[in-house]
Amino acid sequence: MSHVPHELHEEFPEAEETLRTLKANDAHFARLADEYHTINREVHRIETNVEPAADEVLENLKKKRLHLKDQIAAMIAAAVNTVT
């Protein structure tokens, strides 16, 4: 079990500038990033036993986080491909 928070800037270190630009200029991306951050923090609190939860709850949150990360990755890739 990982006790390391999976912040977006850590997940996509090569895309830090793109992350900032998308957050500032794309309301849908900003909403996805905020939702990712909220779920990510909740997962981290559960994994570090700050906020106990059933294994099923943790697994569902991780699946949601992964789905959001996939959407975010696709948006980052599209933005990078548009620029290059």
How far is it, in rounded angstroms, from Cα 33 to Cα 27? 10
The answer to whether residue 47 sits within a structural domain is: yes
User: Count of CB atoms within 10 A of residue 24's CB?
Assistant: 9
Summarize pLDDT for 34-82 with one digit per residue, the tens.
999 999 999 999 999 999 999 999 999 999 999 999 999 999 999 988 8
Number of domains the chain contains: 1
Range(s) of the domain holding residue 75: 8-83
Report d(CA 45, CA 41) in Å as an integer. Answer: 6
Does a structural domain hold residue 37? yes
Tell me if 64 is assigned to some domain.
Answer: yes
Q: Are 61 and 37 in contact (CB under 8 A)?
A: no
Q: Which residue has the tokens 């830090």?
A: 16
- The verdict on residue 3 lying in a domain is no
Residue 67 Ramachandran class (φ > 0 left, ψ -120 to 50 alpha, else beta): alpha
2 found inside a domain: no
Asked whether residue 1 is assigned to any structural domain, the reply reads: no
**Could you tell me the pTM of the whole model?**
0.88
